[in-house]
Chains A and B, each alone.
Chain A
Amino acid sequence: MIALGYTMVYGVLQLINFAHSEVFMVGTFAGLYALKAMASGPEGGIVLAGVVGTAMLAAMGASALTALGLERIAYRPLRNRGAPRLSYLISAIGASLFLQNLLFVLTPIGGPAPRPYPNVMVRRTAFTVLGYSVSNQQLLIVATMIAMYLALDRFVMASHTGRGIRAVAEDPETAGMMGVNIKRIVVVTFLVGGLMAGAAGSLYGIYFGQARFDIGFIPGIKAFTAAVLGGIGNIRGALLGGLLLGLLENLGVTCIRSDWQDVIAFLVLVAVLMFRPSGLLGEAVRG
């Protein structure tokens, strides 16, 4: 889901939003405090669904706001001046460091130590397939991911704005000549990327039970890897890349050792960049 955010923004702007992992991080914090406000212990049934749903929405909102703020403050001024692409990268890294450190020094909210999530959704086995147990949390994550992906795919492929997004991604100048307000499309793109990252952030928090200022780093880079593996700029590719990367990581964990998980993810990134930089479903680089 984080990979979708990278891919969307890249597709439209040919820009890697390296602060996207912090958009995700803000989502884990927002999810945490929304959950805390509503419940302190385990819940079940309708209440659980309502609480988790609301927390997810809160996280989506907070992440979307962060993403919009990033676009407004870190990117739009550069775009208006027609800055070279390296400037965007530096601006993104700056914004990313700023957000991390902001959560680091804001001790009432963040701080250096991890903040625990309330244990609202007790992990238990939902069902077993071929001897592997699938927990209720994993089920929630997979179901949300599929729902989000389908919604995004419909939005981009079938809606009026989605058509505008695709046109800007293919040829911004011509899209403008056809009456597309490019600024608006860019804002919508960041918004959608933020919503996805927020949902992912709150799920991540529920699953791993904590939020911390630097929590976005590893998932962020892995999502970037997934997006690159699938072919950056390609929404279906991001999904495929995410699935494949997860499979490869777990294969590695099973065949080698569990602490190799991250090593494998980055080996995949390096290998894709070396041998197939356009990714699996990627387009050839435009001249």
Chain B
Amino acid sequence: MTPILEVRGLRVRYGAIEAVKGISMTVGQAEIVTLIGGNGAGKTTTLKTISSVLRPAAGEIVFEGERTDRLPSHEVVRRGICQAPEGRRIFPRMTVRDNLEMGAYARRDPDGIGSDFERVFALFPVLRQRLRQQGGTLSGGEQQMLAIGRALMARPKLLLLDEPSMGLAPMMVDRIFEVVREINAQGTPILLVEQNAQVALQTAQRGYVLESGTVVLEDEAAALLGNDQVRKSYLGTD
């Protein structure tokens, strides 16, 4: 089966600094794929470039057989890629309802949007009770739920998640990742960026290990969990 997303030889620079130095990777039609690695490995930069927030210096991003790396970011959303960005980045002074509506901004099908509201509430029941509250007043875990829910409102064909575990208590991390698996089981492929390699590799089917802007390892998630180098560097076990 052809992959839904293919990244080939991606290079991204911030001024003189090259943050991504030739990354190639794929996401299959029904997969959860994870990018793991430490700070500054280029994980977030890769996701931002896929969302067209950043422009690649070289390389290609191909989504459903078409290049998207020259498109503006709103057009990438229209094609079917939506992201729950690092640090959640919800709109703090907008209500929860307006935040969710923002995810559906590019859509013009009121019926579909209505049923996707229900889908999000089924995944995150707490959001229904918070609808009229301002986004900035939610707890960290609720904000993460809102960020994922907002991205789902775009009805993406590929969901990008950037560090959904960041700053959350272990119990909340478990709940979030339960939902991540659930979303995938409902048929949405997911590209997951994580520093928490343990939970990421337990959730994903495949993984790429990034170090200073390049892929140093790629394998089935289970194999990476057992890999000595990964255990030493990212799992904190010997």
Chain A residues engaging chain B, CB cutoff 8 angstroms: 160, 163-164, 166-167, 170-171, 173-183, 283
Contact = CB atoms under 8 A, between A and B. Distances in A.
A160 B38 CA distance: 39
Contacts of A171: 89, 91
A207 to B, nearest CB: 36
A233 B73 CA distance: 25
Interface in B175-216: none
14 contacts: A160-B105, A164-B102, A166-B98, A177-B53, A177-B73, A178-B82, A178-B105, A178-B154, A179-B74, A180-B74, A180-B106, A181-B74, A182-B74, A183-B72
Contacts of A283: 93
Given A163-B105, A164-B105, A174-B85, A179 B98 contact: no
Given A177-B82, A178-B102, A166 B94 contact: yes
Contacts of A174: 85, 89, 91
A180 B89 CA distance: 15
A179 B85 contact: no
Interface in B39-89: 51, 53, 72-74, 77-78, 82-83, 85, 89
Interface of B: 51, 53, 72-74, 77-78, 82-83, 85, 89, 91-94, 98, 101-103, 105-107, 150, 154
A270 B78 CA distance: 47
A182 B89 CA distance: 17
Given A163-B102, A166-B93, A167-B94, 20 more contacts: A163-B94, A163-B98, A167-B91, A170-B94, A173-B89, A174-B91, A175-B102, A176-B74, A177-B73, A177-B82, A177-B83, A178-B77, A178-B82, A178-B102, A179-B74, A179-B105, A179-B106, A179-B107, A180-B105, A181-B72
Given A163-B105, A164-B105, A167-B102, A177 B91 contact: no
Nearest to B106: A179
Contacts of A183: 72
A180 B73 CA distance: 8
B29 to A, nearest CB: 23
Contacts of B83: 177
Nearest to A184: B74
A198 B91 CA distance: 32
Contacts of B77: 177-179
A179 B72 CA distance: 9
A40 B24 CA distance: 73
Chain A interface, DSSP helix/strand/loop, else mixed: helix
| Most chain A CB atoms below 10 A, which of B94, B105, B106 | B105
B40 to A, nearest CB: 19
Nearest to A185: B74
A173 B53 CA distance: 7
In order of increasing CB-CB distance, the 4 nearest A-B pairs are A179-B106, A179-B77, A176-B73, A174-B89
A100 B103 CA distance: 43
A180 B104 CA distance: 10
B110 to A, nearest CB: 11
Nearest to B98: A163
B222 to A, nearest CB: 32
Given A166-B91, A170-B92, A181-B74, A176 B105 contact: no
Nearest to A166: B94
Contacts of B89: 171, 173-174
B166 to A, nearest CB: 16
| Most chain B CB atoms below 10 A, which of A160, A166, A181, A283 | A181
Contacts of B74: 176, 179-182
A229 to B, nearest CB: 20
B86 to A, nearest CB: 10
Contact of B154 (A170, A175, A179): A179
Contact of B101 (A163, A181, A182): A163
Contacts of B107: 179
| Most chain B CB atoms below 10 A, which of A163, A176, A179 | A179
Nearest to A182: B74
Contacts of B150: 178
Contacts of B78: 179
A51 to B, nearest CB: 40
B53 A170 contact: no
| Most chain B CB atoms below 10 A, which of A167, A170, A178, A182 | A178
Contacts of A164: 102, 105
Given A176-B53, A177-B51, A178-B77, A170 B93 contact: yes
A180 B94 CA distance: 15
A7 to B, nearest CB: 15
Nearest to B150: A178
A192 B185 CA distance: 45
